[in-house]
Amino acid sequence: MSKTHVATHINGDSYEFLCNTQQTLLDVLRHELDLKGSKEGCATGDCGACSVMMDDRLVCACLVLGVEADGKKIETVEGLSTGSSLDPLQQKFIDLAALQCGICTPGVLVAAKALLEKNKNPSEEEVRFWLAGNLCRCTGYDKIVRAVLEVAAEARNT
Amino acid sequence: MNYVVPKTALEASKALVQEGAFALAGGTDLLVKLKTKFVSPSMVVDIKQVPKIMGIEATADGWWIGAATPCAEIVEHESFCKDWPGVVEALSLIGSTQIQGRATLGGNLCNASPAADSVPALISARGTCIISGQSREREEPIEKIVTSPGVTALEKGEFILGFKLPKPQSGTGDAYLRLIPRSEMDIAVVGAGTTVSVDKNKKITSIRVCLGAIAPTQIVLDGLEDIFIGKEPDENSINKLVSIAEAACKPIKDKRGTIEYRTKIAGVLSKRTLTIAYERATNH
């Protein structure tokens, strides 16, 4: 069966790819474009490990068809750092040990970044509710929540 | 699987009428069904480029919500949140932030789950939907759409273009509550949407309570007008509401709750949503 041509922007760069209509955006990112930062956890929208931004909305890449990305702006965890300098969220996650196995981390980072762009001063409750769709089976969430709150506080003070 | 992106409502209907065609809006149900092989479409019809199907706007007599508008966009609309806080409460409960970035009202309705959160709230607000088809467009009350779990009254080739909600008259309030076994991200054991209007003396002039997850379809409670119209709610009338809500229940029993539990909760949530909606109405 013939593949569909898709033209999209990912992390500021133009991408063109061919994909099967059944492939999800997550399949395309990982298997066609070699952007393996976004992880597949459940593949049914429950765990958030594949969280990406599509046209400035936080979505699960596993619940988007690859063909739907045509003409869209996609941002993934690979776009967070600039060259070798990490995003403040990435650095804080390392400093506070807010990750263990790391599978959920890319999705959590993308989701947390989306929150801080919308809300510069989130309460702990707001952070917890916003990240409720990002499951982590290692950390118990506390360090993740503290890292996000600290980054928000530091950004407000600079 | 073919994938088409129709640019007009008519093109969309012509595609959807074909055997094995499925409509795609936010995809939060359809992609799961694809993954689990619950459905195997020969064609997916992405309806998001049909005119008017995306976006929320104030109209001369109320609100238009495009059927494929993501919940996150609706919840961000400040004046809509002021007009229909109960509807917004219901939308805010659908899945996670990520799900709300894609999930739509059209999809929540057409997935036809008895436990859909937006549906009781929209029905209590007396919303209608505009259905687009091959030969005509029609408008139906939302409670006419779901006929049994997973089944809608839509005909072959039809899809929901959008929803109309009235501009709430002065002295109107609505509320939605649902019970789930944990604090977030679960399916309703019971959901209740209530809309009431009051006059300047705080007497009720209209009332509508709709329950979800307590029967194969959403249920609008009957007989409330005789009890509430022309009065302020009191213990006696609220007790009658609880009895009517409990009597309306024909729930399933599953891991989330027994029949007795769902029935009891239906009464409790009816009472609580009435209390909140009445409070909002008297301050509106």
Taking the C-alpha atoms of residue B254 and residue B247, their distance in angstroms, rounded to an integer, is 19
Query: B-chain residues within 8 Å CB-CB of A24?
Result: 31
Per-residue confidence (pLDDT) for residue B264, from 0 to 100 = 97
Chain A positions with Cβ closer than 8 Å to B: 4, 21-22, 24, 43-46, 48, 51, 54, 57-60, 62-65, 67-68, 111, 114-115, 129-134
Nearest chain B alpha carbon to A51: B98
Per-residue confidence (pLDDT) for residue A60, from 0 to 100 = 98
Mean pLDDT of A143-153: 98
What average pLDDT is seen over chain B?
96
Domain residue extents for chain A: 4-79, 88-156
Taking the C-alpha atoms of residue A136 and residue A128, their distance in angstroms, rounded to an integer, is 12
- Tokens standing for residue B275: 């209390």
Q: What is the CA radius of gyration of chain B?
A: 19
CB contact under 8 A, B31 and A21: no
CB contact under 8 A, A63 and B27: yes
Would the pLDDT of A1 be above 70?
no
Among B74, B96, B183, pick the best mutation site for testing chain A contact (most A Cβ within 10 A): B96
Mean pLDDT of B152-172: 97
Taking the C-alpha atoms of residue A52 and residue A73, their distance in angstroms, rounded to an integer, is 10
- The CA-atom distances, in angstroms, between B15 and each of B22, B136, B251 are 9, 15, 37
CA B18 to chain centre: 28
**Contact status, residue B171 vs residue B196, Cβ threshold 8 Å:** no
**Contact status, residue B104 vs residue B91, Cβ threshold 8 Å:** no
Nearest to B19 by CA among B36, B41, B34, B48: B41
* Helix extents (H) in A7-141: 25-27, 88-95, 105-118, 124-130
Would the pLDDT of B205 be above 70?
yes
Which segments of chain B are extended strands (E)? 2-4, 21-24, 43-46, 56-59, 62-66, 128-132, 137-141, 146-148, 151-152, 159-166, 172-179, 190-198, 204-212, 219-220
Closest by Cβ to A129, choosing from B35, B44, B184: B184
Query: The sheet that has B21-24: what strands, in order across it?
Result: B2-4, B43-46, B21-24
Give the DSSP H/E element, type plus range, for residue B195. Answer: strand B190-198
Closest by Cβ to B44, choosing from A21, A114, A129: A21
**Contact status, residue A96 vs residue A150, Cβ threshold 8 Å:** yes
Q: How many CB atoms are located within 10 Å of the residue A82 CB?
A: 8
Mean pLDDT of A48-70: 98
**Contact status, residue B194 vs residue B178, Cβ threshold 8 Å:** no
pLDDT digits (tens, 9 = 90+) for B7-65: 999 999 999 999 999 999 999 999 999 999 999 999 999 999 999 999 999 999 999 99
Q: What is the CA radius of gyration of chain A?
A: 16
Backbone conformation region of residue A150, classed left if phi is above 0, alpha if psi is from -120 to 50, else beta: alpha
Per-residue confidence (pLDDT) for residue B275, from 0 to 100 = 98
pLDDT digits (tens, 9 = 90+) for A73-104: 999 999 999 989 999 999 999 999 999 999 99
CB contact under 8 A, A132 and B101: no
Would the pLDDT of A156 be above 80?
yes
Closest by Cβ to B97, choosing from A62, A64, A111: A111
Query: A-chain residues within 8 Å CB-CB of B45?
Result: none
pLDDT digits (tens, 9 = 90+) for B84-137: 999 999 999 999 999 999 999 999 999 999 999 999 999 999 999 999 999 999
Total residues belonging to chain B: 284
Query: So what CATH class is A88-156?
Result: mainly alpha
Mean pLDDT of A1-13: 92
- Tokens standing for residue B87: 């509807």
Domains of chain B: 2-166 (3.30.465.10), 172-282 (3.30.390.50)
CB contact under 8 A, B44 and A65: yes
Query: Same topology for domains A4-79 and A88-156, yes or no?
Result: no
Nearest to B273 by CA among B117, B167, B143: B117
Per-residue confidence (pLDDT) for residue B40, from 0 to 100 = 94
Mean pLDDT of B252-259: 89
Distance from CA of A81 to the nearest CA of B (A): 22
Nearest to A26 by CA among A106, A112, A92, A137: A106
Phi–psi pair at B198, nearest 5 degrees: -130, 155
**Contact status, residue B164 vs residue B130, Cβ threshold 8 Å:** yes
Would the pLDDT of B183 be above 80?
no
- Tokens standing for residue B257: 């709750």
Give the DSSP H/E element, type plus range, for residue B137. Answer: strand B137-141
Instruction: Name the 3-class secondary structure at B273.
Output: helix
**Contact status, residue B193 vs residue B120, Cβ threshold 8 Å:** yes
Per-residue confidence (pLDDT) for residue A116, from 0 to 100 = 97
Query: A-chain residues within 8 Å CB-CB of B96?
Result: 48, 132-134
Class of residue B169 by CB neighbours under 10 A (exposed 0-12, middle 13-18, buried 19+)? exposed
Residues of chain B with pLDDT > 90, as a percent, come to: 94
* Helix extents (H) in A9-140: 25-27, 88-95, 105-118, 124-130
Q: Strands B128-132 and B2-4, how do they pair? A: unpaired
Query: So what CATH class is A4-79?
Result: alpha beta
DSSP letter at B144? G
